[in-house]
Amino acid sequence: MAAASSNKWRVGSTSRLLSQLVTALVGVAMFLDYVAVGVAASASWEHLSLRYGKWYRPPRTPREARAMGYRRVNEICKMDTYHGFLYVQRHNDKSRLLFDHNDRLAGIQTAIPGNMLGFNSLNESLQMPSKEIIPPILLSQEQYSSGIQMYTVTAYFQHPSLICSPYTQHAHAGKGLYIQMGYQVERQFEKIPLDADRLSDDWKTGTCLHSMGRHYFKHLSKDMKCESLYPVYLMYNADGQLGGFGWLFQGSPSESSRTPVRWLQLDPSLYRASFDVSMLPPCMFNPDFKIFTIRIYLRNEHTMICPRRDAKMDDQRDSKDHAHHGGRGHHLDRINNEEVTFRPLHPKPTNSSSGGGSNNRTPKYINSRTTTSLWMTP
């Protein structure tokens, strides 16, 4: 009996020890989770920057945003037209920033005016944005001071259902890209794959441009209707990793000279620098056709390289292109004049990391018609 009771005592103490151990382990796990969140938060697209010629690096925290003159728009996280706390800066429609409940950068929104004209596939002029591209363009609840209706397009960097959840402090936000596709923010979005291999066939392979990577345009083809020109394109590096995206719209917006980063405005005479022109529908060659765009980088631009095969073709074509420069000369000058202070945000990486292993992977499609990289001309 004595032996049995002492055994029982031992069993009791063992289980108490075990439960203490379990409590301690849970504590450690929660601590590790907390550390991981810290790492994930700081690792979430740390290279985020906007670029046309000049670089613009948006603030990464609400505090930085306020220091840069941004003001917070809303007190409620779940707004009717977007989720997150929106910070805006005067003269800056391109970089409206969304922060989540935990002050993490959760997305970026760009606003465009609703008073621009574009063209449809019959070369008829029509009001932009056309219904074919709503969504991802969405009617905003805001207006410009001139009374012009505002439209927005919004990208989130974490799953949209996490942004306004108070529980995400212990969730791994990580990196992601989600394009808002409706006002039901938590459900209506397009998740962009981080790996180019997982892109659906809707995404057509375009040019690869130096330090911008391989471009993918949704539904772009010779048969596309111009009113359907999709406002989002994607940029992947030679390893097939998502490295950035861009907005692309029909029209020609007027712009404050005080904007920190300008739109790249293009007309048909400049397409060859940015597009594989063999992919474009005839309506885009209407001489009055205008588009404007901005690139949003998620990765360091030095990682946005093209496979070497393309680089060789670029060289050949560059020399051929010199013959054509006469006609486009003044456009090039105009672009170059606008791009006054090119300055890479990030120092060039050391030799070892670039090139090397990145050429093993064949891209989905090699395009030999890539033209000079005017979109980034330093």
Ligand X SMILES: *[C@@H]1O[C@H](CO)[C@@H](O)[C@H](O)[C@H]1NC(C)=O
Residues of this chain that bind ligand X (CB under 6 A): 122-123, 282-283, 285-286, 348, 350-351
C-beta of 226: minimal distance to ligand X in Å?
9
The C-alpha atoms of residue 80 and residue 184 are separated, in whole angstroms, by 8
Cβ 83 to ligand X shortest distance, Å? 40
22 or 122: CB nearest ligand X: 122
Torsion angle of the four alpha carbons 15, 18, 23, 29, in this order, in degrees rounded to the nearest 10:
-150
For the CB of residue 210, give the shortest distance to ligand X in the complex, in Å: 16
Q: φ, ψ for residue 178 (rounded to 5)? A: -130, 125
Shortest distance (Å) from residue 223 CB to ligand X: 12
**3-class state of residue 296 by DSSP:** strand
Q: Which phi and psi (to 5°) does residue 242 adopt?
A: -60, 130
Comparing CB distances to ligand X, the nearer of 123 and 228 is 123
List b or e across 221-230, with b for residues whose CB sees 16 or more CB atoms inside 10 angstroms.
eeebebbbbb
Cis peptide before 231 (omega within 30 of 0): no
- Taking every pair of Cα atoms in the chain, the longest distance, rounded to a whole number of angstroms, is 106
Which burial class, exposed, middle or buried, applies to 47 when counting CB atoms under 10 A from its CB (0-12, 13-18, 19+)?
middle
Q: Shortest Cβ distance from residue 182 to ligand X (Å)?
A: 32
Nearest distance from C-beta of residue 272 to ligand X, angstroms: 15
Considering beta carbons, is residue 111 or 284 the nearer one to ligand X? 284
Give the nearer residue to ligand X in terms of CB position, either 92 or 303.
303
Is the Cβ of residue 81 or residue 359 nearer to ligand X in the bound state?
Answer: 359
Q: Minimum distance from CB of 282 to ligand X (Å)?
A: 4
Q: Which is nearer to ligand X, 261 or 284 (CB)?
A: 284
Both tokens of 248, joined, read 């692309």
| Of 235 and 283, CB closest to ligand X | 283
**Strand, helix or coil for residue 99:** strand
The enclosing H or E element of 336 equals: helix 325-338
